Structure 1
Amino acid sequence: MHVIEKIWNHPLYAKYYQKLAEAEKERIFCCHQIGHLLDVARIAYIQNLEQKLGIRKEVIYGAAFLHDIGKYRQYTEGIPHEKASAEIAEVILNEAAGDAFSEGEKASILRAVLGHRRLREGMEALEKLIYTSDKLSRNCFACKAQEECSWDAGRKNSNFHGLI
């Protein structure tokens, strides 16, 4: 998956990833570094295989790696991170991905990044995969900051149901 390495090594990605890591250094809640990105990608890929959706692995991993890259801008500028992430992702996809993704795949990745925070009717398959995987990646039942978390009880993964 050479294209994922290109995304990871893109200067804009590196810049925002580093800023986000620094901003979340003392965070007690879920963080948005490589562990989370890989969890989202792996869960989405497994769901893709189980549901026989036929989405290429590179497309899933690309969307997963890009879905939270704008989180730093949410912290510092108040921009919803899905919007900031989509803006950054578009630049990275155009510069780093080359012909690894078709124009349709790039558009699908951007929709998934933009739509990963809210479930809605008519979601594309990749968009729904990233949304679902992002939520399933949270191990709320084992989190030491569970009591302080602002997520309502209905959103938290309070047991293994749906996770395995």
Structure 2
Amino acid sequence: MSYIARLMALESYRQALTALERREADRIYCKHDLDHFLDVARITLLLCQAHDIEADRDSVYLAALMHDLGRLDRDEADHNVAGSVLAAQWLDAIGFPKDRQEVVLTLIEEHGWPGKKAPANLSEAFSLADSYSRACYYCPAADSCFWPPDRKNTHPIY
């Protein structure tokens, strides 16, 4: 069984994902759900390919699947560290090798707004993918969104 499948089968992970989805059920802004997580993983790998950045698919997908789950305990910027603590427990539970865990945990801890520039490394690609995954140009709540105009995506990124 792949590490991704192990994580998805892990009861405590599934409970956390469900809890976050329930917490955000009435949220009018972008949600932090499985669709978002998978979008971040896919876009990260595309950015890495386009910019010749080395990326391990397992590490990228694991980080993406866990990167916003710290929002259960914290909001906005504080969720990175809380998410990393949860992720470390889940990585151990699925048997992900210790020598590969640092990459996953760093991606979770460091994700944030990198600015709209070409990524120079995996962490920047991951953070940019997190932003690019949002369809601001089609969002009914765009006018009241707290993101500054220069951060909002005005069209699909390709």
**How large is the Cα RMSD of the aligned pairs?**
2.1
Gaps of 5+ in 2: none
Match for residue 84 of structure 2 among 65, 83, 86: 86
Structure 2 contact 53–120 (Cα < 8 Å) conserved: no
User: How far did 1:41 drift?
Assistant: 0.5
Q: Distance in 2 between matches of 1:9 and 1:40?
A: 20
1:51 maps to: 51
Distance change >3 Å, CA 13–CA 124, structure 1 → 2: farther
With normalisation by structure 2, the TM-score equals 0.89
2:135 maps to: 139
Q: What is the number of equivalent residue pairs in this alignment? A: 155
User: How far did 1:102 drift?
Assistant: 5.2
Aligned sequence identity (%): 26
Q: Distance in 1 between matches of 2:85 and 2:122?
A: 18
Alignment of 1:114-133 (within 5 A): 114-119=109-114, 125-133=121-129
Runs of 4+ with >6 A deviation: none
* Matching of residue 2 in structure 1 with residue 2 in structure 2: yes
Structure 2 contact 113–131 (Cα < 8 Å) conserved: no
Matched to 2:107, the amino acid is: A
Structure 1 contact 28–145 (Cα < 8 Å) conserved: yes
What SS class does the counterpart of residue 70 from structure 1 fall into? helix
User: Over residues 85-137 of structure 1, what are the superposed CA-to-partner deviations in whole Å (9 max), with x where a residue is unaligned?
Assistant: 111001111111x2x4451x2101101100001439xx983321210100100
User: How far did 1:154 drift?
Assistant: 1.1
Match for residue 154 of structure 2 among 149, 152, 158: 158
With normalisation by structure 1, the TM-score equals 0.86
